[in-house]
């Protein structure tokens, strides 16, 4: 049984200390995958968060042992946070190299928003998301699973154990909230 699969089964059996061991393992794997991906491909290549997270899942988790959605939910929650950190680091690096980012419109509905935004836009989204999390943790969590782990609203609902209808309510609110917040941030 892989380390990650073992941690997932400990979390499922109610061991609260297991969850904190999950994030570093998932983070390391994703960072390695991201570095490999970026070194192989063309300059300016964006990281596809969705495919990286799914690749990490296949590499780290013994799929046969972790069929149940609640354990996948824990994995994707950790992966979303790990991917967010990787993308924040990358945006800060790129932002230092080249300030500004033009006037590209942000498509808040895009599942690859996290990777298609310019570094400045990405950091603005991340700030807005942190602000939303203080106010409405459930809505922010749903956005994280969508933007950083690439889950659909239905998958994200299963991952956190809420109904699809509730997830859509959080999602619809969150994207209007983020749109408002990002517009306010971009105005002088």
Partner 1 sequence: MPPWETTIMSKQSERAKAIFLEALDKHAPDEWPAFLEQACAGDAALRADVEELLRARAEIGSFH
Positions that interact with partner 1 (CB under 8 A): 108-109, 135-136, 139, 168-169, 172-173, 175-177, 179-180, 183
Q: Which is nearer to partner 1, 3 or 107 (CB)?
A: 107
CA distance 93 to 97: 6
Q: Which is nearer to partner 1, 1 or 176 (CB)?
A: 176
Structure tokens at 103: 């006037």
CA distance 139 to 159: 13
Q: At its nearest, how many Å lie between partner 1 and the CB of residue 25?
A: 34
- Cα dihedral: 8, 9, 10, 12 (round 10): 90
Q: Which is nearer to partner 1, 36 or 176 (CB)?
A: 176
Q: Kindly list the distances between the CA atom of residue 129 and the CA atoms of 35, 71, 123, 137, 175, in Å, as whole numbers in the listed order.
A: 25, 25, 10, 10, 10
Q: At its nearest, how many Å lie between partner 1 and the CB of residue 170?
A: 9
Q: At its nearest, how many Å lie between partner 1 and the CB of residue 169?
A: 5
Q: At its nearest, how many Å lie between partner 1 and the CB of residue 106?
A: 10
Q: Which is nearer to partner 1, 26 or 129 (CB)?
A: 129
- HSE-CB at 29 with a 13 A cutoff on CA atoms is 22
CA distance 48 to 187: 29
Q: At its nearest, how many Å lie between partner 1 and the CB of residue 153?
A: 8
Question: Which among 169, 164, 171 is positioned nearest to 145, based on CA atoms?
Answer: 171
Q: Which is nearer to partner 1, 96 or 134 (CB)?
A: 134
């Amino acid at each position: 049984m892989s380390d990650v699969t073992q941690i997932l089964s400990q979390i499922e059996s109610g061991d609260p200390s297991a969850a904190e061991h999950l994030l570093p393992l998932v983070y390391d794997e994703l960072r390695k995958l991201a570095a490999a991906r970026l070194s192989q491909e063309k300059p300016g290549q964006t990281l596809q968060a969705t495919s990286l997270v799914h690749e990490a899942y296949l590499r780290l988790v013994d799929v046969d042992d972790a069929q149940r959605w609640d354990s996948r939910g824990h994995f994707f929650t950790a992966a979303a946070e790990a991917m967010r950190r990787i993308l924040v680091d990358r945006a800060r690096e790129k932002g230092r190299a080249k300030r500004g980012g033009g006037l590209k419109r942000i498509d808040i509905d895009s599942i690859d928003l996290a990777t298609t935004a310019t570094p400045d836009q990405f950091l603005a989204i991340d700030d807005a998301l942190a602000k939303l999390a203080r106010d409405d943790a459930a809505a922010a969590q749903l956005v994280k699973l969508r933007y950083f782990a690439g889950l659909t609203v239905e998958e994200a609902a299963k991952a956190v154990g809420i109904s699809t209808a509730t997830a859509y309510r959080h999602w619809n609110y969150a994207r209007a909230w983020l749109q408002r917040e990002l517009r306010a941030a971009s105005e002088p």
